[in-house]
Structure 1
């Protein structure tokens, strides 16, 4: 029996990447490769066509030019070394110089043991090497409960943060509270209406321009209990500054509760009002002026027809054109208050002080802001003395449907469907997984009927059912006095090993998804793994010898149970990254 792997043992793709790297080092020693050539773009991955082999590498294609040779000639030298490896049954050159490897089944059997040994750690890695990454997501205006327009970005951001954490990054989950803008004054005025209502006044229809949702009724009652009727007839100047922070705090309590329903908790809630009170935008402006990146100038005339009342005004402008933007941007308004961009610039400067990389998850309606904020972060990188990678992920809105018809608005919210209502109806797991079944930049319909459908067409059900089916199999095996065992794994057949090969891709899928900042790749992979498992299981319906539970052959049954248990482990690990429960039964 092959030696069982311990939790610090490499997974198969990592092990072969190391072997190929050792071969390249040997070729350097032989003089076939120049020393010190970067191998960063050398990939070790499954070939696109499984019939070509088990593992492929582009090493010869990437390194031939610096080696001053042609790719096939270099590939022949690499293959000569690889053919000496006992677990490599064949190393073949394809096309202009790709190398395909066929790996012995015993190596894949070892991978099953690796999954078992690593357990919840299978798929985790140290790729990030402790790099500090700030992921800012949700950041909904604190003017009411969460609605489904916020949901997709919340799930994408949270899953991405988990993905980065699993790959060795130090992750800060951050929420930016926009509590310094005009919308917060509107919130305070809306709360004042509910405050008067709580005191017994008949307020009638909520005035246009204010927030009409019923969620402000408890806020009005709390204000009435605190202040009595002191501000019922008082001018706005006396109560606005008092009501504003209390209303925001109440809304943030609502938002935290809504996020908790999705299984989301942030590490940091950064306040725009506190940022401005601390003078951060002024600090940013001062530093940028010292660098020659802010100057006093006039905005360009609006393109097209110039308004009759347009007058040139001198404003402090950030030189965003130096960083690829199409025009320089004002950081303050003519009245001296900060523009949204000016405050946002200072906010990103603050985040960059404690991070090696920044990621923002925004709604697609903010696409026009991306270029200027990227320009700002590029400028701020100069102040940090190092480049700060900055990525913005744009997330499209979700169209809510019920049997193909648009869903009506919520009375509680006033003009939208609350996230809490959706989670209460279909469950957290359904919402989270569904949000990751399409790329975030693609449009999405969320149909209440389809997302709870028990069919292959519903990815949430299909993946969870695979895990439930595995757990059910384990329970039935126990009733037959059968148990998972790795003693006879060498009796597994080609169909069994094919399932192992797909499961073994999980660690590299996790790393690739983290590098690309694309958590939906995990959901796509889990669907493929679930489909492969269901096909594996269903094969036993047509051919009894392919069943997992074989009372007449306890050794083979033990091996298949061991294999199936590890498929369940991989599914659990993947669902865990997405914040979705791996159910025991359905």
Structure 2
């Protein structure tokens, strides 16, 4: 179902086709860049279009002259109140109250599904997020990527896509050996050995002691006097399995349900790297060569001897990349290529990776690899999440004793709750650093965006309860409200809220296409602000109050507005995974 802004775009395209048919415009004009948006300044109108600006060059006309042709046709629309040409050729439109009341009626009919898109057939998106190394608990920075990935998934589902939420367990490599050695030291300590010293480079957190206790319970002293060659691999596996149990609990406590956990170890053992290599080789995308020594940067897997290289530069990367080392072993990057080939092979042609800030330099190569190994059929978008700085009343929060070096997700949830954590993680763009002050995010004031938005919903519910006390339960009958919404809304301030609600589907569409879930929170904050402003105006102006005890019909029209606001808030809360609160 198309939204209101799309409908106006289509009507403008239709009249442009009429102008072409009337030979006032040339054939073959490209309408793809034509958009209808909110004007930057509300005083300029309800909607604005760039139609004349983007078509002027093709039409070989000055933008204003083209705009005049378009506006002349638009004046025939019966729902137009005024149209103006602004600046070099922007078209500003203002529509009648009746036009907006039709959309108001549609909002009430759609309920909390207003703005949702019907299922898109054969449109599967795989979102990999979190994928924290299984060497310790999830920490606050992981929480940001976790929330952004999960909310992006929910946003895309609301937009009609089938979404797979996936976590890659990085259970191979030197980090797992380091974890195993850390565990063995704590294992010896748990079995009574004194004066254990944790060397620099090993994992010092108290969580390793917990895993050691589990190891003793499961295997006694079986590994105590074994040589490293006999305990390194099994202890690494044991530690990963134990830590992942806690990681999955943290994910669940964040309100996230992953669909797939992929083990890198299992992937490698299945021959996935060889399969990916065979695909690249069969298309002539590998060769034996020697990479130039790195200049000013460290390039993983560089060695001054011939290696099997992937022709990454053919797909937008800066240099070709090593796939197989001179000793015949696979590079780290080869494993990543294999993993993305595996995701593509499972049916996902749209891939999204949500990475931490330390992966920013990795984007070009993995995009190139995805394009190559899928023969151009799969596309990959990478969202980088910048750091989270934690504070308590402006003071930096000290590290977690259990984790050893960082504040855990469990710590944050225990302190502020899941909903606050999820909301605040979306209160800035993912590519901006985020300051998270425990004291600020729990304040009950308009400066706290979580409280401000939830309070808007709670106020709506409060009015509903009082309305029932005044008029009886049927005053909120949705069919009655839908019927009355076709009538008139005499207060411009209330109609402005209808216009803001009508922008919700357009905003959702833009956020979905750009993969920017923070836009949902930004919109909810704008909606809450507009609602609270009207609430306070009602204290001074009786005409703007939601409950008019002497006028049931006028009250119901206002209750219809509050119902529409509540529907959109519920929809937004559902996408971001926050529980709406009926009382505060």
Quick check: TM above 0.5? yes
Work out the CA distance in 2 between the residues paired with 1:509 and 1:304: 42
User: Of residues 115, 126, 140 in structure 2, which corresponds to 1:134?
Assistant: 126
Query: What is residue 397 of structure 1 aligned with on the other side?
Result: 387
Work out the CA distance in 1 between the residues paired with 2:244 and 2:333: 23
User: Residues 54-453 of structure 1: matches in 2 within 5 Å?
Assistant: 54-126=46-118, 130-202=122-194, 204-303=196-295, 312-353=304-345, 354-382=347-375, 386-453=376-443
Work out the CA distance in 2 between the residues paired with 1:403 and 1:305: 39
Work out the CA distance in 2 between the residues paired with 1:50 and 1:505: 13
Work out the CA distance in 1 between the residues paired with 2:25 and 2:377: 31
Partner SS, residue 512 of structure 1:
helix
Q: How many matched pairs?
A: 572
Query: What is residue 522 of structure 1 aligned with on the other side?
Result: 520
Contact 1:187 1:247 in 2 (8 A): yes
Work out the CA distance in 2 between the residues paired with 1:51 and 1:12: 20
Partner SS, residue 257 of structure 2:
coil
Partner SS, residue 57 of structure 2:
coil
Contact 1:32 1:67 in 2 (8 A): no
Partner SS, residue 42 of structure 1:
coil
User: Residues 500-515 of structure 1: matches in 2 within 5 Å?
Assistant: 500-515=498-513
Q: How much does 1:352 deviate?
A: 2.3
Closer/same/farther in 2, CA of residues 203 and 280 from structure 1, 3 Å limit:
farther
User: Residues 568-583 of structure 1: matches in 2 within 5 Å?
Assistant: 568-583=566-581
Query: What is residue 490 of structure 1 aligned with on the other side?
Result: 488
Alignment deviations for residues 10-46 of structure 1 (CA, whole Å, 9 cap, x no partner):
5432332332233234334434445554322211222
Work out the CA distance in 1 between the residues paired with 2:270 and 2:489: 68
Work out the CA distance in 2 between the residues paired with 1:37 and 1:135: 36
Q: Does 1:567 align with 2:565?
A: yes
Work out the CA distance in 2 between the residues paired with 1:174 and 1:133: 11
When structure 1 is superposed on structure 2, of 516-525 and 55-64 the one drifting more is 55-64
Contact 2:273 2:334 in 1 (8 A): yes
Q: How much does 1:311 deviate?
A: 7.3
* TM-score normalised by the chain length of structure 2: 0.92
Work out the CA distance in 1 between the residues paired with 2:121 and 2:76: 32
Alignment deviations for residues 435-493 of structure 1 (CA, whole Å, 9 cap, x no partner):
11111111111111011111121111111111111111111121112634352640431
Q: How much does 1:195 deviate?
A: 3.4
Gaps (5+ residues) in structure 1?
1-7
Query: What is residue 446 of structure 2 aligned with on the other side?
Result: 456
Work out the CA distance in 1 between the residues paired with 2:581 and 2:332: 45
Work out the CA distance in 2 between the residues paired with 1:282 and 1:256: 30
Work out the CA distance in 1 between the residues paired with 2:47 and 2:566: 24
Closer/same/farther in 2, CA of residues 389 and 337 from structure 1, 3 Å limit:
same
* TM-score normalised by the chain length of structure 1: 0.92
Work out the CA distance in 2 between the residues paired with 1:305 and 1:464: 47
Gaps (5+ residues) in structure 2?
none
Contact 1:28 1:35 in 2 (8 A): yes
Work out the CA distance in 2 between the residues paired with 1:491 and 1:290: 67
User: Residues 545-564 of structure 1: matches in 2 within 5 Å?
Assistant: 545-564=543-562
Query: What is residue 3 of structure 1 aligned with on the other side?
Result: none
Closer/same/farther in 2, CA of residues 375 and 202 from structure 1, 3 Å limit:
same
Contact 2:497 2:531 in 1 (8 A): yes
